[in-house]
Structure 1
Amino acid sequence: MNADAIIIGAGACGLMCAVQAGYLGKQVIVLEKSEKPGAKILISGGGRCNYTNYLASAEQFISANPHFIKSAFTQWTVDDTISFFETYGIQGKEKTLGQLFPDNKNAKDVVAIFTSVCADLGQEIRCNADVKDIEVLADGFKVTYDKNGKTVVLTATKLVIATGGLPIPKMGATDFALRFARKNDLKIIETAPALVPLTITGKDEEWFAQLSGNSVFCEVSNDEISFEENILFTHWGLSGPAILQISSFWRRGEVINLNLLPNQNIVVLLDEERKTNGKSLLSTLLNRFYTRKFTDALGKFLPLSKTVASLTNAEIEQIEQTIHHFKVKPAGDKGYDKAEVMRGGIDTNEISSKTLECKKIPGLYFGGECMDVTGWLGGYNFQWAWASGFVIAQNL
């Protein structure tokens, strides 16, 4: 055997697994298809890497089995993530909604920790290694990969598949884990882009496009869940944190609701304005909360040039509906090219929640995004990657 374990994928999960295995004296070889490890880490958080979230728990994850990740999150906690990075010189700085970023460092420093520690522990990371075949042996696994046109064969008693999901194929994402799962009769929960911008077409397309670049703080909701963060208008539809969040819960054909003034009541504001300055225009009131361009765009639905005092009950009701119950029916999403994660994946019922070992193929482990575990925006998916990498390493 060439090593105790072969890890396919040098992303967040694979790298953490390699380091943690090294701590335990286990030798692994990490195979990475791309030119360098941690490609997706490097672009996360705009290159700043929001590497965990203080609020991370099973409640912020989508899965057919919502209890699956509880064991991993007990074995490797947010505090463990924070302590791990502090050990190697990265202090966390909290941003909005519990997101933790490196203070005075960035994503490159995060990746550098793993490559440096792997080197110190004698763990090999082989890049430009394109895995072509996996053979399940009686006592382990034979992995065949291509490196610069040459075929290389490795064997190990344990195998870890941490190849991620389908998003951002230009970064090297593939359906490798899903293909392997299908080939070996493992069930897959239907996959789709998640944390992804939504598109608007048809009669409303021009209205959204004219607002491209405008950002508005909103409560975005559907029948299942709601999020309060910014939305961003684009020339093809809607993006921004709140839209990315709701996209993981949105299904084609559904309508989403935008509360454009979530922490105020427009009817109360109109009543107060009528008492103090009834001659002011509706547009003047709305300009206190929105950019002039956004207010002007609302003129398609609202009587902006009327004074507050002259508004009829029907107009006030229309204003209330527009501001607090703005309905949007997206045509679709921007696909895996723009998605941050994949929804769905290998069914967690195929995997032990305590060890992340495949129930049907002993010695095989799955970690990270390739499984049916999808976190919210804001460091949650990193916490799952670190936790799953740690858990697998304990069981190699």
Structure 2
Amino acid sequence: MPANLIKQTDFDAIIIGGGACGLMCAVQVGFLGKRTLILEKNDKVGAKILISGGGRCNYTNLYASPKQFISQNEHFSKSAFAQWTVDDTISFFETYGITGKEKTLGQLFPVSDKAKDIVQVFTNLCHDLGQEIRCEADVKSVEQSNGGFEVVYEKHGRETRLSAGKVVIAAGGLPIQKMGATDFGLRVARKFGLKIIDTAPALVPLTITGKDQQWYEQLSGNSIFCRVWNDRASFEENILFTHWGLSGPAILQISSYWKAGEFIYIDLLPNENITQLIQEEREVNGRKTLLNYLSGIYTRKFAEALSGYLPVDKNLASLSKTDFEAIDALIHNFKVKPAGDKGYDKAEVMRGGVSTDELSSKSLEAKKVPGLFFGGECVDVTGWLGGYNFQWAWASGFVIAQNL
């Protein structure tokens, strides 16, 4: 069906994507007395906000800084984070009735524990500030035209063509397809000749296959506080054994720094020395078996699972130097070679994306395409687990708004 030509003169910009970045951008533009139109593919805005943190929305992190972000250019995010700080995020939401409460590691959640309250702030403000939102609008193309852009979208089988001087691509990344995620932002960037950094799932569970799979399956449901590392990063948080491999916060974190074919390493008792602990215990009770001792540190199920690697039936008094070396190596240097990851549908975010070389760090405008801006997840700026990616979304939305 041919698109209807509608010459729009009352929108200063069209924002493609009604997620965290797009919503913040629209609101901040409204504060500046300008008007935007948000085109959202889903039947409501903020779909990923609503499911984040188990529906509670970890909307920022008190310790967010460029250090917690992965990018080909580690300095790129500094400008955005200087323009919109964590304090700005906290103040913004407090102004509109959202008080934060800190959980672990600086993670900030609404006191209400309701992600919908975060989305409500934006929908109310968009309404009050005259920012228009059109949902179920599937954008088909973005073209340059007459010094600006034409955007074609389809809704209920009908195509509409809009024009605007500026366009913001805030369409997110590839996770999670059932939430409407697509590669639209990357396709637009490629169309305009912008470089893309290879993308991959990030903050994603890792899979174990082959001869080791059964060992992990038997431990499904066991959660252990660990240090997980490779030669790029290290994290101390819980890991979770599953029937298909490993998950939990520490695994999700290291996954962003892992590549197929590589090992990761796990210290199953961080900040302790297992050899010293056992030696202290055997002075008191040398007849205790290694199995019973380990069952006091871990679950019985996990201690029993170590029987394939350690002499768990021996009593502590009879452990040899070789036994201690094996125990130390296993507990403090557990070596894992994942087969892969659970893919975009189980990933929290995407790493890679539109190359930061193509964008102004001060405005997030494409250097080659004046008037075209990229923000949020589709840019090659990927944060850690724990509210960091929301902070980038808010900051990038704010920065773009100042330059529309």
User: 2:313 is matched with which residue: 305, 309, 318?
Assistant: 305
2:174 matched to 1:158?
no
Matches within 5 A, 1:333-344: 333-344=341-352
* Alignment length (residue pairs): 396
Q: Give the aligned residue type for 1:389.
A: G
Q: Residue by residue, what CA displacement relative to the aligned partner does 1:130-149 show, whole Å, maximum 9, x if unpaired?
A: 01111112321111100111
2:341 matched to 1:347?
no
Q: Distance in 2 between matches of 1:187 and 1:220?
A: 33
Q: Residue by residue, what CA displacement relative to the aligned partner does 1:182-213 show, whole Å, maximum 9, x if unpaired?
A: 11110000000000000000110000011111
SS of aligned partner of 1:337:
helix
Contact 2:57/2:113 (8 A) holds in 1:
no
Q: Distance in 2 between matches of 1:278 and 1:214?
A: 28
Contact 1:2/1:155 (8 A) holds in 2:
no
Q: Give the aligned residue type for 1:142.
A: E
Gaps of 5+ in 2: 1-8
Matches within 5 A, 1:67-146: 67-146=75-154
Match of 1:33? Answer: 41
Q: Distance in 2 between matches of 1:183 and 1:267?
A: 59
Matches within 5 A, 1:230-241: 230-241=238-249
State the Cα distance separating 1:300 from its structure 2 match.
1.2
SS of aligned partner of 1:299:
helix
Match of 2:16? Answer: 8
Contact 1:2/1:154 (8 A) holds in 2:
no
Q: Distance in 1 between matches of 2:398 and 2:232?
A: 32
Q: Residue by residue, what CA displacement relative to the aligned partner does 1:312-350 show, whole Å, maximum 9, x if unpaired?
A: 110110000110011000000000010000010000010
2:295 matched to 1:295?
no
Q: Distance in 2 between matches of 1:134 and 1:196?
A: 31
Q: Give the aligned residue type for 1:99.
A: Q
Contact 1:90/1:105 (8 A) holds in 2:
no
Q: Distance in 1 between matches of 2:112 and 2:175?
A: 28
Q: Distance in 1 between matches of 2:267 and 2:113?
A: 36
Matches within 5 A, 1:352-371: 352-371=360-379
Q: What TM-score results when the alignment is normalised by the length of structure 1? A: 0.99
Contact 1:6/1:160 (8 A) holds in 2:
yes
Q: Residue by residue, what CA displacement relative to the aligned partner does 1:66-101 show, whole Å, maximum 9, x if unpaired?
A: 000000000000000000000111111001111000
Contact 2:139/2:154 (8 A) holds in 1:
yes
Q: Distance in 1 between matches of 2:71 and 2:349?
A: 13
Q: CA RMSD in A?
A: 0.7
Q: Give the aligned residue type for 2:255.
A: S
SS of aligned partner of 1:288:
helix
Q: Distance in 2 between matches of 1:185 and 1:158?
A: 18
State the Cα distance separating 1:2 from its structure 2 match.
4.1
SS of aligned partner of 1:209:
helix
Q: Give the aligned residue type for 2:323.
A: E
User: 1:197 is matched with which residue: 205, 220, 236?
Assistant: 205
Q: Which moved more, 1:97-106 or 1:67-76?
A: 97-106
Q: Give the aligned residue type for 1:214.
A: N
Match of 2:182? Answer: 174
State the Cα distance separating 1:362 from its structure 2 match.
0.4
Q: Distance in 2 between matches of 1:216 and 1:18?
A: 42
Q: Give the aligned residue type for 1:75.
A: Q
2:69 matched to 1:61?
yes
Contact 2:203/2:384 (8 A) holds in 1:
yes
SS of aligned partner of 2:165:
strand
Gaps of 5+ in 1: none
User: 1:44 is matched with which residue: 52, 55, 60?
Assistant: 52
Q: Residue by residue, what CA displacement relative to the aligned partner does 1:282-301 show, whole Å, maximum 9, x if unpaired?
A: 11211121111111111111
State the Cα distance separating 1:105 from its structure 2 match.
3.8
Match of 1:222? Answer: 230
Match of 2:157? Answer: 149
Contact 2:99/2:111 (8 A) holds in 1:
yes
Q: Give the aligned residue type for 2:147.
A: D
Q: Give the aligned residue type for 2:222.
A: N
Task: Determine what percentage of the aligned residue pairs are the same residue.
Answer: 70
Q: Give the aligned residue type for 2:368.
A: K
Match of 2:6? Answer: none
Q: What TM-score results when the alignment is normalised by the length of structure 2? A: 0.97
2:196 matched to 1:211?
no
Q: Distance in 2 between matches of 1:248 and 1:225?
A: 9
Contact 2:14/2:38 (8 A) holds in 1:
yes
Q: Distance in 2 between matches of 1:294 and 1:132?
A: 52
Q: Residue by residue, what CA displacement relative to the aligned partner does 1:240-271 show, whole Å, maximum 9, x if unpaired?
A: 00000000000000011010000210010011
